[in-house]
């Protein structure tokens, strides 16, 4: 859809919020997005009496309720961790999340030895095509960049300029290039407005899915959570396998580690990473296991047999071929909570399509809507990668909600979250009138510094505040392969 066309989508109407984040205080009543998330997951209503939510949108310059989405998703994960604490025999504690702090936490702001890394490849970004519409190319990994360049007939490698790419795309229809890229396994999205996306078969498949899907996939006895006298953290002694990359999935593991879980990040030694792994690896063990080898698969199976939660961000079907799909995991570890992240959901014609936050924003209408609100023609992204961050916290929430069910009901469970479904949820929170006039707020007062395996790491403190067990990351961020692929003795 051309960027000048009118946004006629029924959701996301502008509200009357026209001031930057100011003081306010609210509970998670029936109209609050946290209340709806909590209720849909079947969590106990009385826990909502112990949450304090402060602040209001706009928190960041956007016409969308970025702060509300950040606050609700972070609060859902934090309150679920507090509920696990309660299920382990402790009285409920208060959980507070400030909206502005939550939004700031989603900025992926960090420094290494005083320098802010540049994680974006020069080819990444938006380009106008011959039909007048725009496409976004994600080229942060060399194989994605070279694949896009090869499809365009440009030389691969780092010598090709943005101007070269722009000239090549001027010969393409945007949607034909999007499809050709998908057929080649390359990550590209054509810009749509909300109305065009809503009419797409994939949008209709996404809309039929819950924000956080929690499904029982096998039988298992209830597995009581470890309870002992020196319990100091809500998720202490819970073992989480983290097979995710980039932002959304790693944010899930980082959130669980903030409340005491033993989170083990598993990377293949054959795959590249981007520098934000230093930020998202806070609190985690970090190991190598190449699942293309028998040795790597044996190591993962041994780890899985003692895990409580298995989190993965492979494309749909990717782990099944290696013997670690949800049903496989439930056979190896009855009672497992298996969490899957996808770009566009697990059903529909795009279910197997790769994607990242920036691409999903483009394909599903956010770039067009934000540009329209700003009065500009070209695509305009959200001020943060909100779909990634909110999805990560919703994954953590779903994992803990399913773990609570397992403790009480038994069973093995499959939790599913997608960037596109999170995007629809963000739309349903409404639009913020004059939100783009809000300046980007300062962030330095929220930053702390600590040594890491990557250098001195400066990053944002967690926005979820607990009355008795403050959130913190006990393990420093370290490079992949630092630890052996075995659980610590106390895990």
pLDDT digits (tens, 9 = 90+) for 249-279: 999 999 999 999 999 999 999 887 778 999 9
* Per-residue model confidence (pLDDT) at position 180: 96
CA distance 400 to 108: 24
Question: Do 379 and 368 contact (CB within 8 A), yes or no?
Answer: yes
- What pLDDT band is residue 13 in, cutting at 50, 70 and 90? very low
CA distances from 468 to 82, 85, 94, 96, 474 (A): 10, 11, 8, 12, 16
The mean of the pLDDT values for the chain is 92
Convert 140-209 into a string of H (helix), E (strand) and C (coil): CCHHHHHHHHHHHCCCCCCCCCHHHHHHHHCCCCHHHHHHHHHHCCCCEEECCCHHHHHCCHHHHHHHCC
**Residue 343, strand partner residues:** none
The mean-pLDDT minimum among 209-213, 230-234, 420-424, 460-464 falls in 230-234
pLDDT greater than 90 at residue 31:
no
* Per-residue model confidence (pLDDT) at position 141: 80
Treating both helix axes as pointing N-terminal to C-terminal, what angle do 142-152 and 162-169 enclose, rounded to 10 degrees?
40
Question: Do 428 and 11 contact (CB within 8 A), yes or no?
Answer: yes
State the DSSP code for 50: G
The Cα angle at residue 248 between residues 244 and 252, in degrees rounded to 5? 75
Convert 368-437 into a string of H (helix), E (strand) and C (coil): HHHHHHHCCCCCCCCCCCHHHHHHHHHHHHHHHHHHHHHHHHCCEEEEEEEHHHHHHHHHHCCEECCHHH
**Exposed / middle / buried, residue 337 (Cβ in 10 Å: 0-12, 13-18, 19+):** buried
**Residue 341, strand partner residues:** 417
User: Reduced to 3 states, what is the DSSP secondary structure of residue 28?
Assistant: coil
- What pLDDT band is residue 226 in, cutting at 50, 70 and 90? confident
* Per-residue model confidence (pLDDT) at position 442: 97
Pairing mode, strands 337-342 and 262-267? unpaired
- 264 membership: H or E segment, kind and range: strand 262-267
Q: What is the dihedral of CA 142, 350, 246, 401, to 10 degrees?
A: -170
Among residues of the chain, what percentage have pLDDT more than 70? 94
Question: Do 346 and 352 contact (CB within 8 A), yes or no?
Answer: no
pLDDT greater than 90 at residue 344:
yes
User: Shortest CA distance to 266 belongs to which of 291, 287, 245?
Assistant: 287
* Per-residue model confidence (pLDDT) at position 5: 33
State the DSSP code for 453: B
CA distance 263 to 335: 18
CA distance 486 to 74: 30
Name all domains of the chain by residue range, CATH numbers in brackets. 67-117+202-356+379-466 (3.40.50.10540)
């Amino acid at each position: 859809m051309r960027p000048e066309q009118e946004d006629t989508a029924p959701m996301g109407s502008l509200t009357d919020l026209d001031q930057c984040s100011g003081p306010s205080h609210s509970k998670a009543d029936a109209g609050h997005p946290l209340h709806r998330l909590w209720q849909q997951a079947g969590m106990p209503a009385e826990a909502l009496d112990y949450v304090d939510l402060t602040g209001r949108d706009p928190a960041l310059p956007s016409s969308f309720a970025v702060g509300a989405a950040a606050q609700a998703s972070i609060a859902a994960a934090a309150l679920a961790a507090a509920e696990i604490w309660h299920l382990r025999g402790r009285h409920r504690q208060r959980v507070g999340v400030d909206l502005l702090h939550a939004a700031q936490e989603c900025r992926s702001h960090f420094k290494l030895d005083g320098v802010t890394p540049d994680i974006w490849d020069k080819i990444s970004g938006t380009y106008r095509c011959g039909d007048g519409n725009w496409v976004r190319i994600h080229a942060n990994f060399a194989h994605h960049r070279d694949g896009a360049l090869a499809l365009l007939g440009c030389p691969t490698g780092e010598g090709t300029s943005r101007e070269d790419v722009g000239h090549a795309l001027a010969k393409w229809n945007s949607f034909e290039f999007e499809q050709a890229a998908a057929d080649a396994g390359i990550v590209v999205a054509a810009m749509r407005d909300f109305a065009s996306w809503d009419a797409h078969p994939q949008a209709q498949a996404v809309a039929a899915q819950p924000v956080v899907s929690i499904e029982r996939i096998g039988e298992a006895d209830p597995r009581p959570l470890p309870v002992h006298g020196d319990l100091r953290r809500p998720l202490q002694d819970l073992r989480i396998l983290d097979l995710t990359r980039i932002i959304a999935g790693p944010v899930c593991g980082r959130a669980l580690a903030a409340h005491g879980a033993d989170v083990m990040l598993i990377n293949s030694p054959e795959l590249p990473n981007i520098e934000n792994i230093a930020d998202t690896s806070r609190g985690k063990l970090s190991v190598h296991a190449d699942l293309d080898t028998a040795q790597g698969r044996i190591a993962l199976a041994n780890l899985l047999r003692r895990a409580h939660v298995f989190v993965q961000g492979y494309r749909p079907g990717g782990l099944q071929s290696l013997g670690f799909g949800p049903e496989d995991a439930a056979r190896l570890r009855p009672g497992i909570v298996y969490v899957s992240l996808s770009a566009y959901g697990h059903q529909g014609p795009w279910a197997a399509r790769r994607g990242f936050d920036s691409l999903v924003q483009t394909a599903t209408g956010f770039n067009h809507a934000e540009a329209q609100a700003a009065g500009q023609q070209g695509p305009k992204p959200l001020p943060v990668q909100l779909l990634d961050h909110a999805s990560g916290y919703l994954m953590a929430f779903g994992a803990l909600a399913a773990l609570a069910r397992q403790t009480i009901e038994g069973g093995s469970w499959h939790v599913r979250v997608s960037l596109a479904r999170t995007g629809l949820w963000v739309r349903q929170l409404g639009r913020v009138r004059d939100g783009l006039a809000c300046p980007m707020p300062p962030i330095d007062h929220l930053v702390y510094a600590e040594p890491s395996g990557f250098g001195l790491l400066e990053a944002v403190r967690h926005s979820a505040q607990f009355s008795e067990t403050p959130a913190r990351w006990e393990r420093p961020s370290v490079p992949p392969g630092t630890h052996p692929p075995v659980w610590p003795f106390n895990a």
